[in-house]
Amino acid sequence: MSSYTRVALVTGANKGIGFAIARDLCREFPGDVVLTARDEARGRAAVQQLQAEGLSPRFHQLDIDDLQSIRALRDFLRKEYGGLNVLVNNAGIAFNTDDPTPFDIQAEMTLKTNFFATRNVCTELLPIVKPHGRVVNVSSSQGSQALENCSEDLQEKFRCETLTEEDLVDLMKKFVEDTKNEVHEREGWPNSAYGVSKLGVTVLSRILARRLEEKRKADRILLNACCPGWVKTDLGGAHASRTVEEGAETPVYLALLPPDATEPHGQLVRDKVVQNW
């Protein structure tokens, strides 16, 4: 047996849903919990807040938009823990609906963080996830809504069981290009950069889960996307219907699936229930 302590990691965990997930994992996960944040001061303040509650998370800086930052975290996890047991990809951004930033800039920035940076974290950290590991990508039912608002041709592509990661990356790049050229509606895209970014996260989760099934079946790693619901955060706004604690429930449930669990895997889960795709 490995002598390493088990470790769970949450990205974007200094506030909001990420902070609530880190708090719950500190209470329930049998091992160390690493809280990450882009801003070191805010991350350390969040750790102090949890310490004041009698919990003991660790802090590591992580800017998911910076590949070097992701790799530094990977090297830390390898050295300290010999890998990773639980990964919760929570970090993400959204523009307010009344933000005057041009739509093409919003699209580029939102996809850069929510899709491309999340994909980079998966690319760097999935290889060090240990057997029976759990990976949770925080997505949104706005992604499913975006899919419904795509043209039939695009819906077919996103739903295709043989869609590759490269194909998906090309589709996400095309959305950004089409917004720049002001043809995204004509090309069948919806008017929600956030929705398209989360559609990408959900489809990426399906593709990565399928690859784990092919390449590492014996390791029984479970990887899912989830929708935390509409939560009162900086991102969700004050009128949202759920508290951050309620928003954390499904991600934490997926992160703590028992070692003998075989499902869900490659699914979108909301309120602990697999959603139709």
Q: Which of 4, 81, 194, 253 is catalytic?
A: 194
What is the rounded CA–CA span in Å between residue 229 and residue 231?
Answer: 6
Confidence at residue 1, expressed as pLDDT on a 0 to 100 scale: 42
Residue 185 maps to a domain: no
- Express each pLDDT in 48-86 by its tens digit: 999 999 999 999 999 999 999 999 999 999 999 999 999
How many structural domains are present in the chain?
A: 1
The two beta strands, 84-89 and 58-61, are unpaired
Confidence at residue 229, expressed as pLDDT on a 0 to 100 scale: 83
Residue 208, domain CATH: 3.40.50.720
Residue 227 maps to a domain: yes
Report whether pLDDT(270) > 60.
yes
Residue 182 maps to a domain: no
253 is catalytic: no
End-to-end, the C-alpha distance of the chain in Å comes to: 39
| Percent of the chain whose predicted confidence (pLDDT) is above 90 | 91
Residue 2 maps to a domain: no
Residue 42 maps to a domain: yes
Q: What is the mean pLDDT of residues 237-262?
A: 91
Q: Which residues contact 185 (CB under 8 A, 6 or more apart)?
A: 191
- Domain that includes residue 64, residue range: 7-96+111-140+195-275
Confidence at residue 258, expressed as pLDDT on a 0 to 100 scale: 97
Per DSSP (E only), the strands in 177-246 are 222-227
What is the rounded CA–CA span in Å between residue 24 and residue 37?
Answer: 17
Pick the closest to residue 136 from 149, 124, 151, 121 (CA basis): 121
pLDDT class for 227, splitting at 50, 70, 90? very high
**Neighbour-count burial for 95-132, b at 16+ CB within 10 Å, e otherwise:** beeeeeeebbebbbbbbbbbbbbbbbbbebbbebbbeb
Specify the 3-state DSSP secondary structure of 181. coil
Confidence at residue 216, expressed as pLDDT on a 0 to 100 scale: 97
Residue 105 maps to a domain: no
How does DSSP assign 43-78, residue by residue? HHHHHHHHHHTT---EEEE--TT-HHHHHHHHHHHH
pLDDT class for 2, splitting at 50, 70, 90? low
- Average pLDDT along the chain: 95
Confidence at residue 202, expressed as pLDDT on a 0 to 100 scale: 98
Residue 242 maps to a domain: yes
Whether the CB-CB separation of 109 and 116 falls below 8 Å is answered with: no
Residue 243 maps to a domain: yes
